Amino acid sequence: MELVKPNNDLQLLTTKDGSYTLYDTQNDETYHSKFGAKAESDTVFLLNTGVSKRLEQLLPTKVLEIGFGTGFNFVNTAHKAIACKSPLHYTGIEMRPPPPALANELLKHNAPKLEALCDFTSNSLARCQLNSEAGDTHFDPFTTLNLICADALEWPLPRATYDAIYLDAFSIKNNPTLWSASFLQKLCNAIKVDGVLATYCVSRTFRDALTDAGFNWQKHPGPMGKREVLTASRSNLLKPAYQPETT
């Protein structure tokens, strides 16, 4: 079994809403918006994808997150699912997980009343570094996590499965392939017909790639100091399905 190398170039950083993020000193990138990690998670991901509303309506909800990182978006989403007693199945893909103890410190600061959920998440991070796909793990009868420690570019995704996709890669400058048309086509194939992809990135190159991949996109006002964020949905049903490369 291969041990995935944890990312040790990380420091905790306080964002403007008081919640913590991680700062990657090697890439000069933060894991969440400097304007507010909690505000970003609430607005860009839970609210804009409609996940928050689905959970309030007790609709079973499948979320895929590209770039699971610390697991904070998972904790925030699971918190809502647990409060609503609504079924949530959350798949996270992460290529280079942060050290679990550091993630745990961040999670407990950002979600101080959710100690058991924070421990579940950081234990999942530790486990997935030993076994890249541990399969579904259940926090409670409502909340299931499938955390996959792998390169999202290479991981096969099921067709028409996800109600929401949180695209939370590093910036297009440092992580260009996760914003490319070929990867977005793979996500377009994996999302349900009425599913919503959400992200913080609004760059022109990314918007063009979304269109090329078969998505319609829409800009929204960003939370706190961020001007704009984005959602996208499948533009039609007639686009050719994503064809994985054959070797």
Ligand X SMILES: C[S@@+](CC[C@H](N)C(=O)[O-])C[C@H]1O[C@@H](n2cnc3c(N)ncnc32)[C@H](O)[C@@H]1O
168 binds ligand X (CB under 6 A): yes
Give the helix, strand, coil percentages of the chain, each rounded to 5: 35, 30, 40
State how far the Cα of 74 lies from the Cα of 86, in Å rounded to an integer.
14
Residues of this chain, 81-120, that bind ligand X according to CB under 6 A: 93-96
Residue 50 beta carbon to ligand X: minimum distance, rounded to whole angstroms: 19
- The verdict on 169 binding ligand X (CB under 6 A) reads yes
Residue number, 93 or 164, with CB nearest to ligand X: 93
What is the distance between the alpha carbons of residues 51 and 16, in angstroms, rounded to a whole number?
25
* Candidates 12-20, 116-124, 129-137, 169-177; binding stretch for ligand X (CB under 6 A): 169-177
Query: What single string gives the DSSP state of each residue in 5-27?
Result: PP--SEEEEE-TTS-EEEEETTT
| C-alpha dihedral sign at 95, 72, 175, 7 | negative
Strand partners, 247: none
Site for ligand X in 30-59 (CB under 6 A): 31
Q: Which residue is nearest to ligand X (CB)?
A: 69
- The residue among 68 and 206 lying less far from ligand X, judged by its C-beta, is 68
CB of 247 to ligand X, least distance (A): 19
Least distance to ligand X, CB of residue 124, Å: 13
Q: Please work out the total of residues on this chain that contact ligand X, with binding judged by CB under 6 A.
A: 19
Our CB check for ligand X shows the closer of 61 and 73 to be 73
Residues 12 to 31 in contact with ligand X, rule: CB under 6 A: 31
Closest-CA residue to 70 (of 24, 17, 39, 2): 24
Question: What are the distances in angstroms from CA 36 to CA 159, 185, 209, 219?
Answer: 33, 30, 27, 19
CB within 8 Å of 199: residues ≥ 6 apart: 44, 166, 167, 168, 206, 229, 230
Q: Which is nearer to ligand X, 34 or 239 (CB)?
A: 34
* Residues lying near ligand X in the complex (CB under 6 A): 31, 67-70, 72-73, 93-96, 151-153, 168-170, 175, 178
